Amino acid sequence: MIFDVSAREGSARTGAFHTAHGDVLTPAFMPVGTRGTVKTLDGEDLLDLDAQMVLSNTYHLMLRPGSDVVRELGGLHRFMNWRGPILTDSGGYQVFSLDAKVREEGVTFRSTYDGSRVELTPERAVAVQEDLGSDVAVALDVLVGLPANREVVEAAMRRTLRWAERVMHARQREDQAVFGIIQGGTDPSLRAESAVKTAELDFDGYAVGGLSVGESDSERDRAIEVVVGELPEDRVRYTMGLGDTEGMLHAVARGIDLFDCVLPTRLARHGKVLTPVGDYSIRRAEHARSHAPLDPSCGCSTCASYSRGYLRHLFLTNEPTGLRLLTLHNLTYTLRLMGSIRLAILEGRFQAFMASTLDRRVSGDSGESLA
Protein backbone atom coordinates (compact mmCIF):
# COMPACT_ATOMS: atom_id res chain seq x y z
CA MET A 1 0.00 0.00 0.00
CA ILE A 2 1.37 3.38 -1.02
CA PHE A 3 0.27 6.82 0.11
CA ASP A 4 0.89 9.63 -2.35
CA VAL A 5 0.68 13.18 -1.00
CA SER A 6 -0.35 15.36 -3.93
CA ALA A 7 -1.13 18.64 -2.18
CA ARG A 8 -0.56 20.29 1.17
CA GLU A 9 -1.76 23.32 3.05
CA GLY A 10 -0.26 23.53 6.49
CA SER A 11 -0.80 20.15 8.12
CA ALA A 12 -3.81 19.31 5.94
CA ARG A 13 -3.02 17.01 3.02
CA THR A 14 -4.82 15.14 0.32
CA GLY A 15 -3.66 12.15 -1.69
CA ALA A 16 -4.52 8.51 -2.29
CA PHE A 17 -3.59 5.06 -1.13
CA HIS A 18 -3.79 2.03 -3.35
CA THR A 19 -5.40 -1.32 -2.54
CA ALA A 20 -6.22 -4.47 -4.47
CA HIS A 21 -9.83 -3.29 -4.75
CA GLY A 22 -9.20 0.28 -5.86
CA ASP A 23 -7.65 3.58 -4.85
CA VAL A 24 -8.93 5.59 -1.90
CA LEU A 25 -8.76 9.37 -2.21
CA THR A 26 -8.03 11.04 1.10
CA PRO A 27 -9.15 12.43 3.44
CA ALA A 28 -11.80 9.69 3.43
CA PHE A 29 -14.59 8.46 5.68
CA MET A 30 -15.49 4.78 6.01
CA PRO A 31 -19.12 3.87 6.70
CA VAL A 32 -19.22 1.17 9.37
CA GLY A 33 -20.50 -2.23 8.29
CA THR A 34 -19.94 -4.03 11.58
CA ARG A 35 -21.39 -7.43 10.67
CA GLY A 36 -20.67 -7.24 6.96
CA THR A 37 -23.37 -4.68 6.23
CA VAL A 38 -23.95 -0.99 6.80
CA LYS A 39 -27.25 -1.18 8.65
CA THR A 40 -30.32 -0.77 6.34
CA LEU A 41 -28.10 -0.42 3.21
CA ASP A 42 -26.53 -2.75 0.66
CA GLY A 43 -23.49 -2.64 -1.60
CA GLU A 44 -25.32 -0.90 -4.43
CA ASP A 45 -26.47 1.83 -2.06
CA LEU A 46 -22.86 2.42 -1.01
CA LEU A 47 -21.77 2.67 -4.64
CA ASP A 48 -24.52 5.19 -5.31
CA LEU A 49 -23.31 7.19 -2.31
CA ASP A 50 -19.75 7.19 -3.71
CA ALA A 51 -18.41 5.50 -0.59
CA GLN A 52 -14.76 4.66 -1.25
CA MET A 53 -14.13 2.18 1.53
CA VAL A 54 -16.06 0.49 4.32
CA LEU A 55 -15.14 -0.89 7.74
CA SER A 56 -16.19 -4.26 9.12
CA ASN A 57 -15.63 -5.66 12.57
CA THR A 58 -13.28 -8.53 13.31
CA TYR A 59 -14.83 -9.39 16.68
CA HIS A 60 -18.38 -9.78 15.40
CA LEU A 61 -17.49 -11.60 12.17
CA MET A 62 -15.18 -14.08 13.91
CA LEU A 63 -18.14 -15.08 16.11
CA ARG A 64 -20.98 -14.84 13.57
CA PRO A 65 -20.79 -16.41 11.04
CA GLY A 66 -17.11 -17.21 11.70
CA SER A 67 -14.11 -16.15 9.63
CA ASP A 68 -13.79 -19.66 8.20
CA VAL A 69 -17.33 -19.40 6.81
CA VAL A 70 -16.57 -16.03 5.23
CA ARG A 71 -13.38 -17.46 3.71
CA GLU A 72 -15.26 -20.45 2.27
CA LEU A 73 -17.87 -18.12 0.78
CA GLY A 74 -15.24 -16.22 -1.16
CA GLY A 75 -13.99 -13.65 1.35
CA LEU A 76 -15.62 -10.57 2.76
CA HIS A 77 -15.89 -8.69 -0.56
CA ARG A 78 -17.93 -11.43 -2.19
CA PHE A 79 -19.75 -12.25 1.05
CA MET A 80 -21.16 -8.73 1.39
CA ASN A 81 -21.15 -7.90 -2.35
CA TRP A 82 -18.90 -4.88 -1.98
CA ARG A 83 -16.37 -4.32 -4.75
CA GLY A 84 -14.44 -1.52 -3.06
CA PRO A 85 -11.75 -1.64 -0.38
CA ILE A 86 -12.52 -2.93 3.12
CA LEU A 87 -10.74 -2.28 6.41
CA THR A 88 -11.32 -4.68 9.29
CA ASP A 89 -10.59 -3.37 12.77
CA SER A 90 -8.98 -5.64 15.33
CA GLY A 91 -11.95 -6.03 17.68
CA GLY A 92 -10.08 -4.27 20.46
CA TYR A 93 -12.84 -1.73 21.10
CA GLN A 94 -15.50 -4.41 21.43
CA VAL A 95 -13.29 -6.42 23.76
CA PHE A 96 -12.77 -3.27 25.84
CA SER A 97 -16.53 -2.73 26.10
CA LEU A 98 -17.00 -6.35 27.26
CA ASP A 99 -14.68 -5.91 30.26
CA ALA A 100 -12.35 -8.63 29.01
CA LYS A 101 -9.54 -10.18 31.02
CA VAL A 102 -6.30 -8.86 29.53
CA ARG A 103 -3.11 -10.89 29.85
CA GLU A 104 0.22 -10.74 28.04
CA GLU A 105 -0.84 -13.60 25.79
CA GLY A 106 -4.07 -11.90 24.75
CA VAL A 107 -7.60 -11.27 25.97
CA THR A 108 -10.38 -13.55 27.19
CA PHE A 109 -14.03 -12.55 27.12
CA ARG A 110 -17.56 -13.90 26.88
CA SER A 111 -19.32 -13.94 23.52
CA THR A 112 -22.22 -11.51 23.31
CA TYR A 113 -24.03 -14.12 21.21
CA ASP A 114 -24.01 -17.25 23.37
CA GLY A 115 -21.87 -16.48 26.41
CA SER A 116 -19.12 -18.88 25.40
CA ARG A 117 -15.53 -18.20 26.42
CA VAL A 118 -13.47 -16.64 23.62
CA GLU A 119 -9.74 -15.97 23.44
CA LEU A 120 -8.22 -13.41 21.12
CA THR A 121 -4.48 -12.96 20.72
CA PRO A 122 -2.58 -10.62 18.41
CA GLU A 123 -1.78 -13.61 16.21
CA ARG A 124 -5.38 -14.79 16.06
CA ALA A 125 -6.57 -11.28 15.22
CA VAL A 126 -4.24 -11.36 12.20
CA ALA A 127 -5.34 -14.85 11.17
CA VAL A 128 -9.03 -13.95 11.41
CA GLN A 129 -8.55 -10.83 9.29
CA GLU A 130 -6.57 -12.81 6.73
CA ASP A 131 -9.46 -15.28 6.53
CA LEU A 132 -11.87 -12.39 6.04
CA GLY A 133 -9.73 -11.11 3.18
CA SER A 134 -9.96 -7.40 3.88
CA ASP A 135 -7.64 -4.94 2.15
CA VAL A 136 -6.46 -3.52 5.48
CA ALA A 137 -6.12 -5.37 8.77
CA VAL A 138 -5.57 -3.57 12.07
CA ALA A 139 -3.35 -4.83 14.89
CA LEU A 140 -4.91 -5.85 18.21
CA ASP A 141 -4.37 -3.24 20.90
CA VAL A 142 -5.14 -2.59 24.56
CA LEU A 143 -7.71 0.15 24.97
CA VAL A 144 -8.12 2.15 28.18
CA GLY A 145 -11.14 4.30 29.02
CA LEU A 146 -10.41 7.90 29.95
CA PRO A 147 -9.71 9.51 32.27
CA ALA A 148 -7.23 7.01 33.70
CA ASN A 149 -4.05 7.29 35.75
CA ARG A 150 -0.76 7.41 33.92
CA GLU A 151 0.43 4.02 35.13
CA VAL A 152 -2.60 2.27 33.60
CA VAL A 153 -2.30 4.17 30.32
CA GLU A 154 1.45 3.51 30.08
CA ALA A 155 1.06 -0.22 30.78
CA ALA A 156 -1.59 -0.50 28.05
CA MET A 157 0.57 1.44 25.60
CA ARG A 158 3.62 -0.75 26.21
CA ARG A 159 1.62 -3.95 25.92
CA THR A 160 0.15 -2.64 22.64
CA LEU A 161 3.72 -2.12 21.39
CA ARG A 162 4.69 -5.68 22.33
CA TRP A 163 1.58 -6.99 20.61
CA ALA A 164 2.40 -4.91 17.52
CA GLU A 165 5.72 -6.76 17.18
CA ARG A 166 3.85 -10.07 17.36
CA VAL A 167 1.41 -8.91 14.71
CA MET A 168 4.22 -8.09 12.29
CA HIS A 169 5.72 -11.55 12.80
CA ALA A 170 2.32 -13.24 12.35
CA ARG A 171 1.19 -11.65 9.07
CA GLN A 172 1.18 -13.96 6.07
CA ARG A 173 -0.74 -12.24 3.27
CA GLU A 174 1.24 -9.93 1.01
CA ASP A 175 -1.96 -8.58 -0.54
CA GLN A 176 -3.28 -7.27 2.79
CA ALA A 177 -1.95 -4.10 4.40
CA VAL A 178 -1.60 -4.00 8.18
CA PHE A 179 -1.99 -0.88 10.31
CA GLY A 180 -0.45 -0.46 13.75
CA ILE A 181 -2.29 1.36 16.52
CA ILE A 182 -0.92 4.25 18.56
CA GLN A 183 -1.97 4.39 22.22
CA GLY A 184 -1.02 6.61 25.16
CA GLY A 185 -4.24 8.26 26.28
CA THR A 186 -3.97 12.04 26.51
CA ASP A 187 -0.38 12.05 27.75
CA PRO A 188 1.79 13.75 25.09
CA SER A 189 4.98 11.95 26.04
CA LEU A 190 3.33 8.52 25.95
CA ARG A 191 1.64 9.32 22.65
CA ALA A 192 4.93 10.46 21.12
CA GLU A 193 6.79 7.36 22.34
CA SER A 194 4.03 5.07 21.07
CA ALA A 195 4.08 6.75 17.65
CA VAL A 196 7.87 6.60 17.31
CA LYS A 197 8.18 2.95 18.36
CA THR A 198 5.18 1.80 16.32
CA ALA A 199 6.58 3.57 13.24
CA GLU A 200 9.87 1.73 13.74
CA LEU A 201 7.99 -1.51 13.05
CA ASP A 202 7.24 -0.26 9.51
CA PHE A 203 3.49 -0.82 9.31
CA ASP A 204 1.68 0.06 6.09
CA GLY A 205 -0.34 2.70 7.95
CA TYR A 206 -1.01 3.96 11.45
CA ALA A 207 -4.21 4.24 13.45
CA VAL A 208 -4.62 6.70 16.30
CA GLY A 209 -6.50 4.60 18.84
CA GLY A 210 -7.68 5.17 22.37
CA LEU A 211 -9.75 8.26 21.56
CA SER A 212 -13.49 8.97 21.76
CA VAL A 213 -13.45 7.14 25.11
CA GLY A 214 -13.93 10.05 27.52
CA GLU A 215 -11.38 12.71 26.66
CA SER A 216 -12.22 16.33 25.87
CA ASP A 217 -12.07 17.72 22.33
CA SER A 218 -8.93 19.69 23.13
CA GLU A 219 -7.24 16.63 24.63
CA ARG A 220 -8.15 14.61 21.53
CA ASP A 221 -6.78 17.27 19.18
CA ARG A 222 -3.54 17.55 21.14
CA ALA A 223 -3.07 13.76 21.11
CA ILE A 224 -3.57 13.66 17.33
CA GLU A 225 -1.16 16.54 16.81
CA VAL A 226 1.57 14.85 18.84
CA VAL A 227 1.12 11.53 17.04
CA VAL A 228 1.09 12.95 13.52
CA GLY A 229 4.31 14.80 14.23
CA GLU A 230 6.10 11.48 14.80
CA LEU A 231 4.67 9.42 11.92
CA PRO A 232 6.15 8.99 8.43
CA GLU A 233 4.63 11.28 5.82
CA ASP A 234 4.19 8.54 3.20
CA ARG A 235 1.88 6.33 5.28
CA VAL A 236 -1.83 6.52 5.99
CA ARG A 237 -2.87 8.17 9.26
CA TYR A 238 -6.21 6.96 10.54
CA THR A 239 -8.13 8.22 13.58
CA MET A 240 -10.44 5.49 14.83
CA GLY A 241 -14.03 6.15 15.87
CA LEU A 242 -14.14 9.83 14.90
CA GLY A 243 -17.02 10.93 12.66
CA ASP A 244 -18.52 14.25 13.74
CA THR A 245 -18.08 17.29 11.48
CA GLU A 246 -16.12 19.37 13.96
CA GLY A 247 -13.86 16.53 15.07
CA MET A 248 -12.97 15.44 11.55
CA LEU A 249 -12.18 18.98 10.41
CA HIS A 250 -9.82 19.52 13.35
CA ALA A 251 -8.17 16.13 12.70
CA VAL A 252 -7.69 16.82 8.98
CA ALA A 253 -6.10 20.15 9.91
CA ARG A 254 -3.56 18.12 11.90
CA GLY A 255 -2.78 15.71 9.05
CA ILE A 256 -5.25 12.81 9.43
CA ASP A 257 -6.22 10.92 6.25
CA LEU A 258 -8.85 8.36 7.23
CA PHE A 259 -11.86 8.12 9.56
CA ASP A 260 -14.57 5.70 10.59
CA CYS A 261 -17.52 6.11 12.93
CA VAL A 262 -20.99 4.72 13.57
CA LEU A 263 -22.20 8.26 14.28
CA PRO A 264 -23.92 9.11 10.95
CA THR A 265 -25.77 5.78 10.73
CA ARG A 266 -26.55 5.44 14.44
CA LEU A 267 -27.92 8.97 14.62
CA ALA A 268 -30.04 8.26 11.56
CA ARG A 269 -31.63 5.27 13.27
CA HIS A 270 -32.56 7.57 16.16
CA GLY A 271 -34.08 10.19 13.88
CA LYS A 272 -31.18 12.68 14.01
CA VAL A 273 -30.57 14.57 10.77
CA LEU A 274 -27.10 15.91 9.86
CA THR A 275 -26.96 19.19 7.91
CA PRO A 276 -24.35 21.88 7.17
CA VAL A 277 -26.20 24.32 9.45
CA GLY A 278 -26.61 22.04 12.46
CA ASP A 279 -28.33 18.79 13.33
CA TYR A 280 -31.93 18.23 14.41
CA SER A 281 -34.44 15.50 15.28
CA ILE A 282 -37.03 14.57 12.66
CA ARG A 283 -39.29 13.46 15.52
CA ARG A 284 -40.02 17.03 16.59
CA ALA A 285 -43.64 18.15 16.23
CA GLU A 286 -42.71 21.19 14.12
CA HIS A 287 -41.97 18.84 11.19
CA ALA A 288 -45.38 17.12 11.20
CA ARG A 289 -46.83 19.19 8.35
CA SER A 290 -43.60 20.26 6.67
CA HIS A 291 -43.25 19.89 2.90
CA ALA A 292 -39.54 20.71 3.13
CA PRO A 293 -36.78 18.16 2.51
CA LEU A 294 -34.41 17.25 5.31
CA ASP A 295 -31.86 19.70 3.90
CA PRO A 296 -32.72 22.02 1.00
CA SER A 297 -29.04 22.15 -0.05
CA CYS A 298 -28.56 18.37 -0.11
CA GLY A 299 -30.13 16.77 -3.18
CA CYS A 300 -29.62 13.17 -2.03
CA SER A 301 -32.28 10.63 -3.04
CA THR A 302 -34.07 11.11 0.28
CA CYS A 303 -34.13 14.91 0.09
CA ALA A 304 -35.16 14.79 -3.57
CA SER A 305 -38.17 12.57 -2.93
CA TYR A 306 -39.54 12.85 0.61
CA SER A 307 -40.81 15.56 2.93
CA ARG A 308 -39.98 16.04 6.58
CA GLY A 309 -43.63 15.37 7.35
CA TYR A 310 -43.50 11.95 5.71
CA LEU A 311 -40.19 11.01 7.30
CA ARG A 312 -41.44 12.04 10.74
CA HIS A 313 -44.46 9.81 10.18
CA LEU A 314 -42.19 6.84 9.37
CA PHE A 315 -40.23 7.31 12.58
CA LEU A 316 -43.24 7.74 14.81
CA THR A 317 -44.80 4.57 13.37
CA ASN A 318 -41.51 2.61 13.57
CA GLU A 319 -41.38 1.91 9.85
CA PRO A 320 -37.95 0.50 8.82
CA THR A 321 -38.04 2.58 5.64
CA GLY A 322 -37.46 5.68 7.73
CA LEU A 323 -34.21 4.26 9.09
CA ARG A 324 -32.96 3.57 5.58
CA LEU A 325 -33.91 6.98 4.19
CA LEU A 326 -32.23 8.91 7.01
CA THR A 327 -29.16 6.68 6.78
CA LEU A 328 -28.84 7.51 3.09
CA HIS A 329 -29.08 11.21 3.88
CA ASN A 330 -26.62 11.23 6.79
CA LEU A 331 -24.00 9.27 4.85
CA THR A 332 -24.49 11.57 1.86
CA TYR A 333 -23.79 14.53 4.14
CA THR A 334 -20.68 12.93 5.67
CA LEU A 335 -19.19 11.64 2.42
CA ARG A 336 -19.89 14.94 0.67
CA LEU A 337 -18.14 16.76 3.50
CA MET A 338 -15.04 14.63 2.86
CA GLY A 339 -15.19 15.44 -0.84
CA SER A 340 -15.44 19.14 -0.07
CA ILE A 341 -12.46 18.90 2.29
CA ARG A 342 -10.36 17.23 -0.41
CA LEU A 343 -11.28 19.89 -2.95
CA ALA A 344 -10.55 22.71 -0.49
CA ILE A 345 -7.08 21.31 0.23
CA LEU A 346 -6.30 20.93 -3.47
CA GLU A 347 -7.40 24.50 -4.13
CA GLY A 348 -5.38 25.85 -1.20
CA ARG A 349 -8.38 27.08 0.80
CA PHE A 350 -8.79 24.46 3.51
CA GLN A 351 -8.37 26.81 6.46
CA ALA A 352 -11.02 29.16 5.04
CA PHE A 353 -13.33 26.23 4.30
CA MET A 354 -12.92 24.87 7.81
CA ALA A 355 -13.65 28.24 9.39
CA SER A 356 -16.76 28.85 7.29
CA THR A 357 -18.08 25.32 7.86
CA LEU A 358 -17.68 25.55 11.62
CA ASP A 359 -19.26 29.01 11.63
CA ARG A 360 -22.31 27.81 9.70
CA ARG A 361 -22.74 24.89 12.09
CA VAL A 362 -22.87 27.35 14.98
CA SER A 363 -24.84 30.18 13.37
CA GLY A 364 -27.28 28.11 11.32
CA ASP A 365 -26.56 30.24 8.25
CA SER A 366 -27.29 28.09 5.21
CA GLY A 367 -24.89 29.93 2.90
CA GLU A 368 -23.91 27.86 -0.11
CA SER A 369 -24.31 24.10 -0.33
CA LEU A 370 -21.23 21.92 0.00
CA ALA A 371 -19.25 21.71 -3.22
Query: What pLDDT digit, counting tens, does each position of 315-329 carry?
Result: 999 999 999 999 999
The reported pLDDT for the residue numbered 2 is 81
Average pLDDT over residues 177-197: 97
Q: Is residue 279 annotated as a catalytic residue, yes or no?
A: no
Residue 300, pLDDT above cutoff 70 = yes
> What is the third-level CATH fold of 3-261?
TIM Barrel (3.20.20)
Distance CA 215, CA 153 (A): 13
Domain ranges of the chain: 3-261, 268-363
Query: What pLDDT digit, counting tens, does each position of 39-70 carry?
Result: 999 999 999 999 999 999 999 999 999 999 99
Q: Which of 257, 260, 359, 365 is catalytic?
A: 260
pTM of the full structure: 0.95
Q: Is residue 234 annotated as a catalytic residue, yes or no?
A: no
CA pseudo-torsion sign 204, 210, 216, 218: negative
Residue 55 and residue 88 in contact, taking contact as beta carbons nearer than 8 Å: yes
Distance CA 49, CA 365 (A): 26
The confidence band for 365, taking pLDDT boundaries of 50, 70 and 90, is: low
Q: What share of the chain is helix, strand, coil (3-state, %, to 5)?
A: 45, 20, 40
Q: Which of 89, 131, 204, 257 is catalytic?
A: 89
The reported pLDDT for the residue numbered 1 is 78
Query: What pLDDT digit, counting tens, does each position of 149-180 carry?
Result: 999 999 999 999 999 999 999 999 999 999 99
The confidence band for 9, taking pLDDT boundaries of 50, 70 and 90, is: confident
